[in-house]
Chain A
Amino acid sequence: MPDNSAGNNAMRNTVMKNFIGARAMPDLVYHSPKEMSDLMSLFDTHGTSARVVAGCTDFIPSIRTGRWCFDHEPNLIDITKMPVLNQIEKTDDVLKIGAGVSLTRILESPEVKVHCPVLAQAVEQMASLQVRNTATMGGNICMASPAADTVPPLLVSDAWVIIHDAQGEHRVLLTDFFTGPGRSVLTQGQVLTHICIPVKKSNEAAWFQKIGTRTAVIISVVSAAVQVSVTNGICETARIALGSVAPTSVRVAGAETFLEGKPLDEQVIKECARLAAQAISPISDLRSSKEYRKDVAQTLVKRSILACREVLK
């Protein structure tokens, strides 16, 4: 998990097109701080050569494929050995997940299952057991891939992240966190420490669906998450997020406001899904064409709202 992708001189974003095969890892120095103060002093000592990592399940392939390379020896700071970042806590109305918690622990956590089931639903469909045992949600967010599967569920849950630097802690809404593919607001000397999620209320339901070329170990072609709150059969609030259809995961505000104040009947849901697909302009790439993505986004939004309605029955 790198702490930033933009503005770091130590890293050149050299993309080697048509390169197949494994590159050597660069020479590096490995640090595993235990306390936040150790981590901050590592930032001080190593300046721009400091790189924060967690599970490394995306970091290693990024180097192997040549997506990333370093001008000089990076100082890797592994945050998974920090007890303070390895906890799932529930305080009042917020579920707080440390950036070093593995995806398997999120999936198996009873708190997550009760208070943010949509996140568990997404994590279950991610990668493989072996990768989930190593990878972290903090890493998934910081890599800022538009296809990150934990992001749409977090966006519809109104999650925020806590960023720690020399000045102390900052709170950043996840909607403001991403600035582009592989880019976020994190800068040198900052580390994402926690992900905070407001707990689900009893009249709320959320659903996540993704489509890929197979069901396991696959990057999403399109992913969708929906959260609705319903009172007396009328949708009060709606949040819809889509992954892999834009430079970052996106919320589709037009479709959300359309749904609010209306009953969740077939006609309304169909129109809402149409509006969601209309609002996005995905690209064609090796995983899928833009036409297919628009089509599938519409279907996934429709299915997710229907599933939410089913949950609330």
Chain B
Amino acid sequence: MKMPLTFVLNNQQTTLEIDARQTLLEVLRNQGGMTSVHRSCEEGECGACTVLLNEEPVNACLVLAASVQGASVMTSEGLVKNGKPHPLMKAFTDELGIQCGFCTPGMLMNAYALINRAGDNQLTDQIIRKTLEGNLCRCTGYVNIIKSVHTAQKAKLAGEWW
């Protein structure tokens, strides 16, 4: 069944024509043009499609698009401001938290939410590992990803963040 979907996508009020059977992943990629949302396992195992739904990370492949009516959705495209990469993205490139890059957009969104939630509390390796447990990376062995999150949090505490 075709239906209109109105929601906030990366801080912009958006209305898209969707099919009720589409998942948020399909709508974001096909109608929304947000190709950073990666399609992989489609059953919630890998986290490559992680987006923020009302500021909480969710697997876009397991959310019916119809259910986000009126909600706010953020993808990693939304992290870029005036063509400048987000400090979190910079931390990932500086600390080599990226190799092939397939898992990166999902990692970024989950890490972004984690750092925002943490506030002034220093994140520990244990908390980062526990939070990112739903994001699979087959290249880095996670060590550099965890370093990247630490570096990003330092950037946030230093005031370079949006």
Contact = CB atoms under 8 A, between A and B. Distances in A.
A131 B134 contact: yes
A64 B135 CA distance: 20
Given A56-B63, A133-B58, A127 B1 contact: no
A134 B58 contact: yes
Interface centre among A27, A29, A129, A215 (most CB of B within 10 A): A129
Given A57-B62, A134-B59, A129 B20 contact: no
Given A30-B20, A64-B42, A131 B133 contact: no
The 9 closest A-B pairs by CB, nearest first: A128-B134, A216-B133, A25-B21, A30-B66, A61-B43, A30-B20, A130-B59, A57-B62, A133-B56
Given A22-B42, A30-B20, 5 more contacts: A24-B21, A26-B21, A28-B21, A76-B64, A128-B44
B100 interface: no
Contacts of B56: 104, 133
Contacts of B69: 32
11 contacts: A26-B21, A30-B66, A55-B62, A56-B67, A61-B43, A78-B66, A128-B135, A129-B134, A130-B134, A134-B53, A134-B63
B62 A56 contact: yes
Interface in A1-40: 22, 24-30, 32
Contact of A130 (B3, B23, B58): B58
Interface residues on A, range: 20 to 34
Nearest to A26: B21
A29 B1 contact: yes
Interface in A54-83: 55-57, 60-61, 64-65, 73, 76, 78, 80-81
Interface of B: 1, 3, 19-23, 42-45, 47, 50, 53, 56-59, 61-64, 66-67, 69, 110, 130-131, 133-135
B44 A32 contact: no
A268 interface: no
Contacts of B66: 30, 32, 78
Contacts of B67: 30, 32, 56, 78, 80-81
B133 A29 contact: no
Contacts of B59: 57, 128, 130-131, 134
